[in-house]
Chains A and B, each alone.
Chain A
Amino acid sequence: MYAEQKTHLLKALAKNVRYDGRKPLEYREITVEYGISGSAEGSARVKLGGTEVIAGVKMEISKPYPDSPDKGNMMVNAELLPLSNPEFESGPPGEQATELARVVDRAIRESKCIDVHKLVITLGEKVWGINIDICTINDEGNLLDASSLAVLAALKNARLPKLNENSEIQYDVPLTDQKLPLSREPVEVTVIKVGDHFFVDPLSEEEKLIEARLTVAITEKGTICAMQKGGAEPLSSEDIDKMIEIAQKLAPTLRKAL
């Protein structure tokens, strides 16, 4: 069945169209909503066509790592909820969820998007910890790019909670209006290769036919801050050059939706 679908996809791509009528390098409609969870310190919902992902930020007071007493902590976790796709199962995160979380985490971390030095409360003792959770609501393809955008949006939406005199979080009072120290805007663009063709923002049906993919995190300056190759087929240097160029060209489209 895959062979037939692939022939069909390749034929369509040769004519510069997709299953849903889009051009190969065209994203579906992107919408971002902020503050969708009143329980979180920051949250956002991203829709990429039919795909829907939400991200929430929970702040905590934690101990800095011994090798970085002057830095706050940050962690990205992803839950591919069985509610969002009949193929997802309950249970601890599998390979796909773990990869997604780590690739999104890398873009935020390596771009130095969050100024972690500003998250110190008491040097070497108390720092802010930022826990970011991605939850998938409806998976119609390209969870990765949607999640990366949702995480950035949730971070932008976050406000610090109030601390008491012992530097403990006070949960029964409103948040302060202090935002997180964010200085960069990395977004991730996943470029797909099937045959000799490149395209972005795959539908679930198209994801099943992927030969190789390259996720590229692009900063607002156009530089690259994280990458991840996926898929079973190898890529040539020329392929990679082309795929990065596509990612650089399309990153502003995603960022514009913020």
Chain B
Amino acid sequence: MTYDKRFDGRKIDELRPMSAKVGIIPRADGSAMFQIGKTVALCAVYGPRDLHPKFMQNPETGILRVNYNMMPFSGHGERVRPGGGRRSKEISMVMENALLPVLDLKEYPNAVVDIFVELPQTDAGTRCAAITAAAMALADAGLEMKDMVCAVAAGRVEDKIVVDLNYLEDSHEDGADVPVAVLPNSGKITLLQMDGEVTKEQMNEIIEKAKEACKKIYEVQKAALKEKFAKR
């Protein structure tokens, strides 16, 4: 089978339209919105703040805690029961690993930085949108960061390597989905998951395409942060 035309008409390396804004939740210490196509991620950062229960505290360093959640009406199809399940637990965990490498929380012993991500509407690529929003929210919170974090899914649909898969592509029978988070300045990868089937060569191409796409996401993140902070 050949995938000659993407379901939504995009070029194979074309991202969906993006928009981003920081400071959207005034109560939070840092916050951001990132939209890519119909997927929207809202993120709030609280902290560093006291960590309770106390036994979770680490006297050596502050810790990062991520909570990823889809709003009950945000899924494709039926209502998602609130409270989260195995899926959101795993995504929260891999998000922590994706974001932690750019932070240094040693200055905040016993403290926690909480990241809350909520998705009001989704069309695949939610964990990547969540990471992209969270990185902006961390910057908005004024936390020292060694690099930015940008994320996108790339993958295979039939015979083509494509970036930023939408729901139709993501759920396509013959393909693979590879969410990748990239530190744009060092080029290092902090999130890598995969489902589907590909050859090793295809996988290399997928990762390279994802890295290229992340450069465009990085520009959107920088522009959003500049919009808030350059005015000052």
Contact of B25 (CB < 8 Å), options: A60, A77, A83, A93: A83
Q: Which residues of B contact A (CB under 8 A)?
A: 25-28, 38, 40, 42-44, 46, 49, 67, 69, 71-79, 82-83, 114, 116-118, 120-123
Q: State whether B74 touches A40 (Cβ < 8 A).
A: yes
- B79 CB, min distance to chain A CBs, angstroms: 4
A84-B27 in contact given A39-B121, A60-B78 (Cβ < 8 Å) = yes
A82 within 8 A of B: yes
B130 to chain A, nearest CB (A): 12
Within 8 A of B (CB), among A30-82: 36-41, 43, 50, 52, 54, 56-58, 60, 77, 79, 81-82
Q: Which residues of A contact B (CB under 8 A)?
A: 36-41, 43, 50, 52, 54, 56-58, 60, 77, 79, 81-86, 90, 92-93, 131, 133, 135, 137-140, 171
- Nearest-neighbor residue (CB-CB) of A45 within chain B: B120
The answer to whether B118 touches A86 (Cβ under 8 A) is: no
Distance in Å from the Cβ of A171 to the closest Cβ of chain B? 5
Among the interface residues A50, A58, A171, which one has the most CB atoms of the partner chain B within 10 A? A58
Which residues on B sit within 8 Å (CB–CB) of A40?
73-74, 121
Inter-subunit contact B72/A83 (CB<8 Å): no
Question: Are A38's CB and B38's CB within 8 A?
Answer: yes
A85, closest chain B residue (CB): B27
A sample of 7 more A-B contacts (CB under 8 A), given A56-B71, A137-B42, is: A54-B120, A58-B78, A85-B27, A133-B79, A133-B82, A138-B27, A171-B76
Instruction: Indicate if the CB atoms of A138 and B67 lie closer than 8 Å.
Output: no
Whether B44 contacts A83 by the Cβ 8 Å rule is yes
Rounded to whole angstroms, the CA-CA distance of A86 and B26 in the bound complex is 11
Alpha-carbon gap, A185 to B158, bound state (A): 51
| Interfacial chain A residues near B28, Cβ < 8 Å | 83, 86, 138
CB-CB under 8 A from B38, the residues of chain A are 38-39
B82 touches A77 (CB 8 A): yes
A131:B27 contact, CB within 8 angstroms: no
A75: min CB distance to chain B, Å = 10
> Considering only CB atoms, which chain B residue lies closest to A135 in the complex?
B71
Residue contact B77 to A171, C-beta cutoff 8 Å? yes
Provide the residues of chain B in CB contact with A135, threshold 8 Å.
71-72, 118, 120
Q: With a CB–CB cut-off of 8 A, which chain B residues contact A92?
A: 83
Q: A77-B72, A83-B42 are in contact. Are A90 and B25 (CB under 8 A)?
A: no
Pairs across A and B, CB under 8 Å, 28 listed: A36-B120, A37-B71, A38-B38, A38-B123, A39-B38, A39-B120, A43-B73, A54-B71, A56-B71, A56-B72, A56-B74, A60-B79, A77-B72, A82-B67, A82-B114, A82-B116, A83-B28, A83-B42, A83-B44, A84-B44, A86-B46, A131-B79, A133-B71, A133-B72, A133-B82, A137-B25, A138-B28, A171-B76
Shortest CB distance B35–A (Å): 11
CA distance A79 to B67 in the complex (A): 14
Report the separation of the CA atoms of residues A140 and B69 in the bound assembly, to the nearest whole angstrom: 22
A81 and B83: CB pair below 8 A?
Answer: no
- Could you say which of B49, B71, B77, B121 contacts A38, with CB atoms under 8 Å apart? B121
Task: Determine which residue in B43, B76, B79, B122 has the highest number of CB atoms from chain A within 10 A of its CB, and name it.
Answer: B79
Once A60-B79, A171-B77 are accepted as A-B contacts, the answer to whether A90 and B71 lie under 8 Å apart by CB is no
